[in-house]
């Protein structure tokens, strides 16, 4: 691991995209920021995707992350929701890939397990653990930003372990690892 690096964590969504940034210095995590992109007021799904792409680029250009950790969509009962989440995730990934930032995706249970030790932890439990670990004075009202921060912290905790989520270093790597998605 480099002596210093920045990790951007993203919790993609078409209603709210949460994100958090940590800086790692000599294997120690330091909180940089967390926030969310509110998309509720936009009706057009394509405008939402454009805004996710632009905000992700803005974060990359401002903070210059060395790596991006992103929460993977999980299959629920609603296929339409999964499709929307997949699009939001894909747009955020495309922004990172366009700037050559390596991306690793993590399943929600993996993130929760890394933060709390319980893969079924609630958003509130994850937020409280992050507050303790990163010595945050307050927590945000909406917990989408702590979910984004949790992805970054999960990535820090899992660095160097053999079994990571899927990682991509650019478009060529993505294409090589996903030939079936190009049909």
| Catalytically annotated residues | 11, 71, 144
End-to-end distance of the chain based on CA atoms, in angstroms? Answer: 36
CA–CA separation, 170 and 167 (whole Å): 9
Is there a binding annotation on residue 11? yes
**C-alpha angle 95-124-154 in degrees, rounded to nearest 5:** 45
Coil, strand or helix: which one is 150?
Answer: helix
Structure tokens at 112: 């929760």
The tokens 């799904």 sit on which residue? Answer: 45
Beta strands across the sheet bearing 167-168:
28-38, 16-25, 4-11, 67-71, 103-106, 167-168
Q: Cα torsion at 54, 68, 153, 86 (round to 10°)?
A: 70
Coil, strand or helix: which one is 166?
Answer: coil
Binding residues for Mg(2+): 11, 71, 144
Binding residues: 11, 71, 144
């Amino acid at each position: 691991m480099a002596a210093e690096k920045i990790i951007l964590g993203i919790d993609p969504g078409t209603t709210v995209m949460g994100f958090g940034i940590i800086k790692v210095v000599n294997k120690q995590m330091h909180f940089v920021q967390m926030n969310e992109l509110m998309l509720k007021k936009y009706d057009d799904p394509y405008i939402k995707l454009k805004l996710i792409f632009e905000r992700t680029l803005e974060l990359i250009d401002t903070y210059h992350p060395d790596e991006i950790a992103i929460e993977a969509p999980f299959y629920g009962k609603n296929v339409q929701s999964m499709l929307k989440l997949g699009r939001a995730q894909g747009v955020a990934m495309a922004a990172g890939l366009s700037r050559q930032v390596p991306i690793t995706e993590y399943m929600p249970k993996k993130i929760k397990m890394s933060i709390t030790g319980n893969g079924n932890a609630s958003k509130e439990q994850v937020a409280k653990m992050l507050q303790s670990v990163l010595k945050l004075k307050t927590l945000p009202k909406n917990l989408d930003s702590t979910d984004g921060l949790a992805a970054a912290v999960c990535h820090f905790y899992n660095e160097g372990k053999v079994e990571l989520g899927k990682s991509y270093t650019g478009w060529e790597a993505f294409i090589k690892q996903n030939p079936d998605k190009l049909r």
